[in-house]
Structure 1
């Protein structure tokens, strides 16, 4: 079993291109069915952290391939 606090400190890596997506900032939950629908990675800050951020990256739970000790491996298009 993995706690949400443990998920928030793991890097998400996209296996399609090897890019680091960032750390999980939030979860989308389906309370009626009691399951996680997606993880949300906050978009990177724009210039020097000033102003608006880039859009968040939402990764559906079925796209998560492996939750490892240090990283979460995902496959996105």
Structure 2
């Protein structure tokens, strides 16, 4: 079992390309069903006053949560929020 803090320090990696996507910034949780809906990762560095675009990866695209990485199928994930 992992805590949210443990998940936030894990690097997210795309299994299709092996590319490092980044680190989790936030998590969407369905409080009625008690489950994680998606992971939110920053897409780029933002300025002090600019809005940061987020990449949303549905939990269904998470393939494996390892000791220090999270493997996702980001090939079919589209989604700037």
TM-score between both structures, scaled by the size of structure 1: 0.85
* Equivalent in the alignment of 2:64: 66
CA RMSD across the alignment: 1.7
Structure 2: which 5+ residue stretches go unaligned?
A: 76-81
Tell me, in whole angstroms, the C-alpha distance in 2 between the residues paired with 1:53 and 1:43. 11
Query: Alignment partner for residue 53 of structure 2, among 35, 42, 55?
Result: 55
- Where 1:69 maps in the other structure, the secondary structure is coil
TM-score between both structures, scaled by the size of structure 2: 0.82
Give 1:55 deviation, angstroms: 2.0
Residue correspondences, number: 75
Tell me, in whole angstroms, the C-alpha distance in 2 between the residues paired with 1:28 and 1:50. 24
Structure 1: which 5+ residue stretches go unaligned?
A: none
Tell me, in whole angstroms, the C-alpha distance in 1 between the residues paired with 2:52 and 2:64. 26
